[in-house]
A and B are shown apart, each in its own frame.
Chain A
């Protein structure tokens, strides 16, 4: 009986998700929420034809990423769809993004992305449906699916102080992505496009948790920069990634 209770307690502890931090969104972003996704649409800007579909990190409430994408939605005019996944574990719903991209008629092309475990699942989705996506971005994540021959552009952003993600895993799985190109600044990103390449950029002072807004993550280092600064750099790099690839 004691073992059963201990097992139940452990299962409960390992099922606890991170709550999102309460945020005040600007009126420039409209939210549509269903049991399957959270869709962010610009209210003051024309909608671009390429949108973002995103898998959250493992055991992170999907609402924690709304503020992180606010700039790309309100300023750039991109629709961002954050997937809701069973148990807040993207691995339970691999391929879910692909089932919903046709629901958004105003968006003709999609870039898929994910944070941490969500990034791994985004790669799985891209491998299964390579023609459905025009690009891929990973936040503190790597690919266990073979995308090495995929001719779409890929971007991988990591945090200098991220100790949740295992650097060894990133190195070990690097061959699963298109050839690596390291960039230190935005200016180093090739302006004629990055198809068939993986742009690697490490954000100085960034950690694992601040790719979203859910407070400190167990095992993570404190960041040396604010969440706003980290997410602003993510937005800047994603914006350039989209622009140079005409997305």
Chain B
């Protein structure tokens, strides 16, 4: 319960400041390594709802994610910073460094899970309000207590993300 409270506060801090954009991202998680081994595997799919607003040279970002993973299903609150690298006309190239704090979904007791990710991203602005984005990154995810149940409790994956969003408020 305490963990949930901290996760909620963490999420509120990153999203209550005048959110400017909202996007829905479809995710796919090909994997390359796991605790005790390496090699290609498919980690599953996922869905992420993201809020972000301009801050400095980039954007601060917060989101809710639901995904499949080696140990079943997982939900998390994600937060990060999206740094702008290049902008030209309707195109924007950036990179997001992010943190995920969440729960591996089990009936008796959900297990805490965390992750770290870096994803370069391409964004295309359509008109004043709508945009599309795509990214390919690298993410490490760990569920410490799952080690009590299975040999694999951490994975290294290359998340592929495609999303659509729109800008909130005046444009």
Category for how many chain B residues contact A: 20 to 34
Q: Kindly supply a per-residue 1/0 record for chain B positions 47-80, scoring 1 wherever the CB is within 8 Å of any chain A CB and 0 otherwise.
A: 0000000000000000010101011110100000
Pick the contact of B73: A15, A33, A63, A215 (CB < 8 A): A15
B137 close to A (CB within 8 Å): no
* B34 & A35 in contact (Cβ 8 Å cutoff): yes
Q: Kindly supply a per-residue 1/0 record for chain A positions 11-53, scoring 1 wherever the CB is within 8 Å of any chain B CB and 0 otherwise.
A: 1100111111010000000010111101000000000000000
Category for how many chain A residues contact B: 20 to 34
Separation of A203 and B31 alpha carbons in the complex (Å): 41
Pick the contact of A86: B44, B66, B107, B108 (CB < 8 A): B44
Residue among A16, A36, A218 with most chain B CB within 10 A: A16
Separation of A173 and B48 alpha carbons in the complex (Å): 39
A170 close to B (CB within 8 Å): no
Separation of A11 and B49 alpha carbons in the complex (Å): 15
A8: chain B residues at CB < 8 Å are 64, 66
A88 close to B (CB within 8 Å): yes
B109 close to A (CB within 8 Å): yes
Return B7 CB to nearest CB of chain A, in Å: 14
B148 close to A (CB within 8 Å): yes
B107: chain A residues at CB < 8 Å are 16-19, 218
Pick the contact of A20: B68, B105, B149 (CB < 8 A): B149
Pick the contact of B150: A11, A33, A59 (CB < 8 A): A33
Separation of A19 and B43 alpha carbons in the complex (Å): 19
B22 close to A (CB within 8 Å): no
Separation of A80 and B30 alpha carbons in the complex (Å): 26
Residue among A19, A38, A84 with most chain B CB within 10 A: A19
Pick the contact of B41: A12, A20, A35 (CB < 8 A): A35
If the complex has contacts A35-B155, A87-B68, are A22 and B149 also in contact, measured as CB distance less than 8 A? yes
Closest to A35 in B: B41
A61 close to B (CB within 8 Å): yes
A20: chain B residues at CB < 8 Å are 149-150
A86: chain B residues at CB < 8 Å are 42, 44-45, 68
Q: Kindly supply a per-residue 1/0 record for chain A positions 84-95, scoring 1 wherever the CB is within 8 Å of any chain B CB and 0 otherwise.
A: 101110001000
What 5 A-B pairs are tightest by C-beta distance, nearest first?
A35-B41, A15-B73, A17-B72, A33-B151, A16-B105
Interface residues of B (CB under 8 A from A): 31, 34, 36-37, 39, 41-45, 64, 66, 68, 70-73, 75, 105-110, 148-152, 155
Interface residues of A (CB under 8 A from B): 8, 11-12, 15-20, 22, 31, 33-36, 38, 59, 61, 63, 84, 86-88, 92, 215, 218
12 further A-B contacts with Cβ under 8 Å, apart from A17-B105, A86-B42, are A8-B64, A8-B66, A12-B105, A17-B107, A19-B106, A20-B149, A20-B150, A33-B151, A35-B41, A35-B42, A35-B70, A84-B70
